[in-house]
């Protein structure tokens, strides 16, 4: 069945936070997809696989010591996370 997918959320223009939406060919919402583990879906990628799972992007932050490459000792870094969601 053909579907329309899009992302809905806040924070466009970099890191974003939201939910992915799936609508049928009558423009009726049939599902929403959210990231797991307390993360929020980013607006950059959303793919429905041939197995009817969804691949989405999310991000986590961590503190890293970047002095070995000339950076600060306590820098916040962003880690990209790919999640496969099976509803």
Whether the pTM exceeds 0.85: the reply is no
Q: How confident is the model at residue 12 (pLDDT cuts 50, 70, 90)?
A: low
Buried b (16+ CB within 10 A) or exposed e, 15-50: ebebbbbbeeeeeeeeeebbbeeebbbbbeebebee
The string of pLDDT tens digits covering residues 18-49 is: 999 999 999 999 999 999 999 988 888 899 99
Measured distance CA(85)–CA(87) in Å, rounded: 6
The domain in which residue 32 lies consists of 4-85
Number of domains within the chain: 1
pLDDT of residue 87: 76
Q: How confident is the model at residue 73 (pLDDT cuts 50, 70, 90)?
A: very high
């Amino acid at each position: 069945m053909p579907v329309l997918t899009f992302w809905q959320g806040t924070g466009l223009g970099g890191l974003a936070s939201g939910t992915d939406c799936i609508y049928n060919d009558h423009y009726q919402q049939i599902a929403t997809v959210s990231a797991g583990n307390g993360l929020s879906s980013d607006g950059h990628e959303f793919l429905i696989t041939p197995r009817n799972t969804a691949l989405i992007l999310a991000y986590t932050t961590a503190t890293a010591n970047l002095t070995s490459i000339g950076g600060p000792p306590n820098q916040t870094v962003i880690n990209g996370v790919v999640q496969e969601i099976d509803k």
